[in-house]
Structure 1
Amino acid sequence: MQSMKEKAMELFKIDRPFAITMWEFSWIERRWPGAGYEDWDQALTELTDRGYDAVRIDAFPHLMAWDAHREWTLKPVWNTQDWGSRSVNKITLHDDFRGFLAACRRHNVRVALSTWFREDLDNTCMSILTAQDHARIWIKTLDYIRAWGELDNILYVDLCNEFPLSCWAPFFTRYERGGHDSPLCVRWMKEAIAEFKSAYPQIPVTFSFTAPFRDLDEDVSFLDFIEPHVWMTNSSEFYDKVHYDFARFDDTGYNNLALNGERIYRESKAHYDQCLIDEIERVAEWSRRNNKPLVTTECWAIVDYKDGPLLHWDWILDLNRLGVTTAAKTGCWAGMATSNFCGPQFVGMWREHTWHREMTEIIHNSRMR
């Protein structure tokens, strides 16, 4: 039987663990002056200077499959966060997607594809009625990428971000609002992956998940690898104490986070650090039981953060350092991020050049087992 290291090296065509960041839909939505991605070459130069090897982005497969040349009007998914745009926006995918992939190749940055199924005015994602539909929009998207000569730089495909959360997979949650381990959800994932593999068997494919990770023996045999999103906040009562509730168009939660978050963490630092360590070890055990390598692109401190008054970055940096060093020691991660704030729009995180170099060096030097 192949070791996890051998699987990862063959699957991702790597000789060491890779450092990856999440640029989700910001890569195309945040292109106004000062938004961070108006010059892809500059952003990618800064990324590689910090030691990163790959980006995970939204490929908008539902829109690519429907009409790659159309100008799509996107509704904001929130106005409280700095991922993407806080107000209505317009994108045209074909030329920009092709251009971004070409820019990544120029900078030797590999590209992982995912999707948050961004809502357009027609709510096009709701045309996905079956698992086969889900796979076919991805197949059509990869057909474009193959025609552009960029398929060999695709690191993997995540068929849906944090499946099956209702904010990212409303086409599925109209049938059921269960977890990723529910029978209906598992059947959907298996069928979608089988359909996808019939067209692109050489591309590593998965569904990414967020907590809870309840059953470490759940069937993940149909996934090429496991992509769990792991945070201290999802394995503790931290957000309850802070009174942060993920509101997308109300800043009350952010005000509570600014006023109370750092204080509550520091008052019980040992407890919250241990919550993160325990969750990482739990996910690593999930990996070992299934002999599946891990990739984590959203992690380690808290889920939501941004630059703002009273929102200091030092405690976030410390928690993320703990996450990277703990995960690296397990030998289970083929690739990992240093946080989900590693983009030029998060100035307080992005400016910490030395910190990024230290973290990516830890990732590169970690040893899979």
Structure 2
Amino acid sequence: MTDRYLGSGNLPETPYGPTGPVPAHLPDRLAITLWDFSWYTRAGEGDVYADLDAGCADAASLGYNAIRICAAPLLLFGDLGLDDLARDLRIEGLGQTASGGYYGQRTRWYDTPGGYAIDVHAHLAALLAAARRHGLVLILSSWEYQQSCALAASPRWFEAIDAVPFEDRYRVLADAWDRMLAWIDAQGARDLVALVEIHNEVDFSILPAVTDGGATALEGLQQRHPDLIVTASIGKPPHLAMHQLPAGLGAAQCHVYSYGVLDALQKRIDIRSEGSDDFPNAELRALLQPDAPTPDEYGRPAEWKLRATVVTDQMIYGYDWVDAAAWDAWLDTEYPRYAEVMHREIESRVIAIAEWARWQGVPALIGEGWVGYTPLHGGFEESETGRELAEHGIRTALDRGVWGVVLCSNAAPHHPMWQLRAWQQRVNALVRSR
């Protein structure tokens, strides 16, 4: 044996430190639960976010110390004539079906029965207070140019933000965040803000490229709030060309999904397209519940709701009517062919994000991950297989000095995965101990 081998001089001699500095009052590691817009669209009487104090206490008991939300800055502080709506926002979800159910009823994030009105200002104030009581910090983002508006009963919110000229949208978002942060200051809650994201997944939203106006707006917002971390959320960063991301992002808040076997199934059944002539095709029909209506019989949400979201009518129909057991069985059978590449993809993407952040001298976060978008009752990501993929990503992130990480995009009170309590406690303990 010999100690000499090619490349030995380039191997790190010590473990990786943090990717970049964070304010001293914030936790050294963030164990993040993703509450997105559901914290106000699933807040009717008896629903999971009706009692925010109980929700925050429960999250803290599972080991989380950070919650990532859509703070609805355009609705609350966009200066778009929506003040009355923000104080009395009627939640409808995607709307009632002719058969008596509601669109999105078995679709993750869209399973919103609605039927209530909410004061979003008051609900946010309650969340800030509950977060403080239970030792949680908040990652503030916006899903407004992606989907949250679609779950309101009135189109006013969507119509107001859609009327903003395309090239002005980042500026209007930055101005709204500026006003929201002033309001948060007035609540005495600035220290609870771990991160401000100008918008969630800017690359998958109704926004220009972040390099086309977004970077300038971010720079201005960061200059006005130098004590905060300000960034944009990137849904699918260019892992093979990370230099394409603009300089000036205050954090590398990127998402890591390795669809792999899930992508193979989605392409096979053509579930993410729109306007397909043969939808549902034979492969999807073989996976549907026996009593599934045809798409024409089921209908579709109101046209403005489909314009307000990046999810298609084919996805809504498919996820609402697929047999979740048959879906999972297909994934389980085919997964071994994809296992190695999915592990490699998760690892390489996490490393690319972490090392770009280290190069830029900013903290890195994995705000969403790990497999992808499944039906509400599909259990693949919650299974031992899915959890092993998640843990692989989490351990890679921790080893590379990533500041914050989700256990899984589905590990939140509005998803069935929340019931895997022992697993969440164990993995959150790992995250916070590194």
Amino acid at match of 1:202: D
Counterpart residue number, 2:132: 105
Question: 2:392 aligned with 1:356, yes or no?
Answer: no
Counterpart residue number, 1:251: 318
Counterpart residue number, 1:201: 226
Range moving further from structure 2, 105-114 or 116-125: 116-125
Counterpart residue number, 1:269: 339
Structure 1 unpaired stretches of 5+: 174-179
Counterpart residue number, 2:180: 141
TM-score (structure 2 length as normaliser):
0.72
- Distance apart, 1:158 and its partner CA: 0.6
User: How many Å separate the matches in 1 of 2:180 and 2:110?
Assistant: 21
- Distance apart, 1:4 and its partner CA: 6.7
TM-score (structure 1 length as normaliser):
0.83
Contact 1:231 1:303 in 2 (8 A): no
Question: 2:71 aligned with 1:59, yes or no?
Answer: yes
Counterpart residue number, 2:254: 228
Q: Quick one: percent identity of the two aligned structures? A: 21
Cα distance 1:188–1:76, how it changes in 2: closer, same or farther (>3 A)?
farther
Cα distance 1:201–1:301, how it changes in 2: closer, same or farther (>3 A)?
same
Range moving further from structure 2, 122-131 or 224-233: 122-131
Question: 2:26 aligned with 1:9, yes or no?
Answer: no
User: How many Å separate the matches in 1 of 2:138 and 2:175?
Assistant: 20
Amino acid at match of 1:251: G
Question: 2:162 aligned with 1:126, yes or no?
Answer: yes
- Distance apart, 1:161 and its partner CA: 0.3
1:275-314 aligned within 5 A: 275-308=345-378, 313-314=383-384
Structure 2 unpaired stretches of 5+: 1-15, 95-102, 273-310
Per-residue CA deviations over 1:44-94 (Å, capped at 9, x if unaligned) read 122111111110111111110241653224564671533255355643211
Q: Secondary structure at the match of 1:161?
A: coil
Counterpart residue number, 1:239: 263
Q: Secondary structure at the match of 1:296?
A: strand
User: How many Å separate the matches in 2 of 1:191 and 1:297?
Assistant: 23
Q: Secondary structure at the match of 2:204?
A: coil
Counterpart residue number, 1:95: 122
Contact 1:30 1:84 in 2 (8 A): no
Per-residue CA deviations over 1:262-320 (Å, capped at 9, x if unaligned) read 32224442332222222222323322333332111211232335335888633222221
Contact 2:71 2:140 in 1 (8 A): yes
1:158-237 aligned within 5 A: 158-166=197-205, 170=206, 172-173=207-208, 180=209, 185-213=210-238, 214-233=240-259, 236=260
Superposed CA RMSD in Å reads 2.8
Contact 2:70 2:142 in 1 (8 A): yes
Cα distance 1:304–1:209, how it changes in 2: closer, same or farther (>3 A)?
farther
Amino acid at match of 1:72: L
User: How many Å separate the matches in 2 of 1:312 and 1:344?
Assistant: 14
Amino acid at match of 2:328: A
Counterpart residue number, 1:45: 57
User: How many Å separate the matches in 2 of 1:62 and 1:267?
Assistant: 44
Contact 1:104 1:110 in 2 (8 A): yes
Amino acid at match of 1:71: D
Q: Which has the larger radius of gyration?
A: 2
Question: 2:87 aligned with 1:70, yes or no?
Answer: yes
Per-residue CA deviations over 1:198-243 (Å, capped at 9, x if unaligned) read 432322111001115142212432111110100111xx46413443
Amino acid at match of 2:133: R
User: How many Å separate the matches in 2 of 1:87 and 1:48?
Assistant: 27
Contact 2:261 2:338 in 1 (8 A): no
Range moving further from structure 2, 261-270 or 303-312: 303-312
User: How many Å separate the matches in 1 of 2:125 and 2:334?
Assistant: 45
